[in-house]
Amino acid sequence: MIDQYTPLLSHLARSSRTRISNHSTMQSALAPLVGNTPLIRLTRVAAHIHPKVEVYAKAEWFNPSGSVKDRAALNIIRTALDEGLLSKDKVLLDATSGNMGIAYAMLCASLEIHVKLVMPANVNHERKVILSAYGAEMVFTDPMLGSNGAIEKANEINAKEPGRYFYANQYDNNANWLAHYQPGGTADEIWQQTHGRITYFVTGLGTSGTFIGTSRRLKELNPAITCISLQPDSALNGIEGWKYMPSAIKPRIYDETVANRLLEIQTEEAQYMTRRLAKEEGLFVSPSAGAAVAGALGVAEHLNEGVIVTVLADGGYKYVSERFW
């Protein structure tokens, strides 16, 4: 049995030693702070499941910009720098629904690289304020077109001035999923934190990078691990950051054969679980994190034993203006 508090306490102790960093190098001084997030056992919201079934959640808001996207953004930027595709003379351009943009903006601010982000105009106030604080340039698109509209606009901007930009293209960039697959990445962290006992990995699909990269590596470590992807139950939903794949511009990095199963989550179910996590577990998280837990518990309810891990993509502070609270 994994002590539910040990991962969190050991992470805090490690953070107190490692979070003093040097801003003098071209490599972002924030890079060492990305990853090594705690794995927390869920007890109260999982109290109804079989006692031999354990449900754990990866607390990704411990990353420096507050979300799992720090992992992919760092690997995309690092790879582009190594390959000479990005420098202080170029602008990093990408489409985003918010979290990836914030991760780019944070890391690029530490590298003195300008960032231009395309996003739907209805992204919430908190995200706009945070991006403005980091100095990011924002281009807003028709909210009715969602992330698809932002992607199309980013492609248009890049096509007009290709020499000016490094188009990060998170939806098609292999450095995205490799951030979770590579040695020491998300999958290896989960494997170590569960002492190799994980039997189910369950998380949502946005760019699909977290699910694809983590699942591929976990299946290499143990082919018997079941990997279950989650998506909203319709194109019109309130689970920000997730994609309804049947109507979305499918990311090139998305490979539907990686998943053993695909489950759909309702917006109301996600919001309900988000409120429960705050009140019952003391975890103030985003609706997508609530959706991930709802999906993990849905799987757990049909098991008599097992170790399930899901991902809490970010904390709730960027969603405090949402009416569902």
- Tens-place pLDDT, residues 85-121: 999 999 999 999 889 999 999 999 999 999 999 999 9
Looking at residue 8, what is its pLDDT? 39
Q: What is the mean pLDDT of residues 286-293?
A: 97
Q: What is the mean pLDDT of residues 203-216?
A: 97
Q: Pick the residue with more confidence: 6 or 75?
A: 75
Strands 200-204 and 165-167: unpaired
Looking at residue 325, what is its pLDDT? 85
**CA pair distance 121, 140, nearest whole angstrom:** 5
Looking at residue 177, what is its pLDDT? 98
User: Measured on CA atoms in the order 127, 284, 238, 226, is the torsion positive or negative?
Assistant: positive
Looking at residue 323, what is its pLDDT? 85
Looking at residue 77, what is its pLDDT? 97
- pLDDT of 25 higher than 80: no
Question: What is the share, in percent, of the chain residues with pLDDT greater than 70?
Answer: 92
- pLDDT of 179 higher than 80: yes
Looking at residue 3, what is its pLDDT? 43
> What contacts 283, CB < 8 A, 6 or more positions away?
40, 57, 59, 277, 289, 312
- pLDDT of 14 higher than 80: no
Q: What is the mean pLDDT of residues 123-136?
A: 95
Looking at residue 176, what is its pLDDT? 98
Structure tokens at 228: 């279950």
In this prediction, residue 15 has a pLDDT band, given cuts at 50, 70 and 90, of very low
**CA pair distance 126, 130, nearest whole angstrom:** 6
Q: What is the mean pLDDT of residues 54-77?
A: 98
Looking at residue 116, what is its pLDDT? 98
Q: Which of 28, 58, 67, 69 is catalytic?
A: 69
Domains of the chain in start order, with CATH, are 6-68+180-319 (3.40.50.1100), 69-174 (3.40.50.1100)
Q: Pick the residue with more confidence: 311 or 14?
A: 311
Q: What is the mean pLDDT of residues 292-303?
A: 98
- Tens of pLDDT, residues 239-271: 988 999 999 889 999 999 999 999 999 999 999
- pLDDT of 49 higher than 70: yes
Q: Pick the residue with more confidence: 79 or 3?
A: 79
DSSP sequence for 203-258: EE-SSSHHHHHHHHHHHHH-TT-EEEEEEESSSS-S-TT---GGGS---TT--GGG
Q: Which of 28, 147, 288, 318 is catalytic?
A: 288
Looking at residue 324, what is its pLDDT? 84
Q: What is the mean pLDDT of residues 166-171?
A: 97
Q: What is the mean pLDDT of residues 33-39?
A: 97
CB half-sphere exposure, 241, CA atoms < 13 A: 28
Mark whether 215 is an active-site residue. Answer: no
pTM of the model: 0.90
Looking at residue 28, what is its pLDDT? 77
Average pLDDT, the chain: 91
Long-range contacts of 25-34 (CB under 8 A, 24+ apart): 26/81, 26/111, 27/78, 28/74, 28/77, 28/107, 28/110, 28/111, 29/110, 30/64, 30/106, 30/107, 30/110, 31/74, 31/78, 31/107, 33/63, 33/64, 34/63, 34/64, 34/70, 34/71, 34/74
- pLDDT of 10 higher than 90: no
Residue pair 273/279 in contact by the 8 Å Cβ criterion: no
Mark whether 288 is an active-site residue. Answer: yes
In this prediction, residue 154 has a pLDDT band, given cuts at 50, 70 and 90, of very high
At residue 35, the 3 state secondary structure works out as coil
In this prediction, residue 322 has a pLDDT band, given cuts at 50, 70 and 90, of confident
